[in-house]
Amino acid sequence: MPGNRLLVEFGQCQVGEQRTAVFYLVNQGEELPIRFRLPRVAHFRPRPQQGLIRPDGRQMICVDFVPRQYGEFA
C-alpha cells in the first residue's frame, strides 16, 4: 500500500556473507484476498517473491542479503 514502508537493517555484512530478515505481510481485510509481488533487487532476494494472501491471513517473507561488493546498500 502506498505510504506503508518497512525498514529492514542487516547490519555490517562481509562480501559473500548471507544475512536473512523475516517479517510478515498481513491482509487485514475480511472479504478479499490480496496479491503481492516483491521485486528482486541486486544483493537482495525475497522469498516468496509473489503470492496471494487470503482474507485475515498472513504470509511470512524472508529476505536474503548477500553483498557481492563493498558498499552501503539501501
**Residue spans per domain, the chain:** 1-74
Task: Give how far Cα 40 sits from Cα of 16, 31, 63, Å.
Answer: 17, 29, 10
Supply the pTM of this predicted model: 0.79
At residue 74, the pLDDT reads 64
Q: pLDDT, tens digit, for every residue of 36-66?
A: 999 888 899 999 999 999 999 999 999 999 9
Between 1 and 30, residue with greater pLDDT: 30
On whether the 1-74 domain is CATH 1.20.120.1770, my answer is: no
pLDDT at 2 over 90: no
Those residues whose C-beta lies under 8 Å from the C-beta of residue 1, and which sit 6 or more positions away, are none
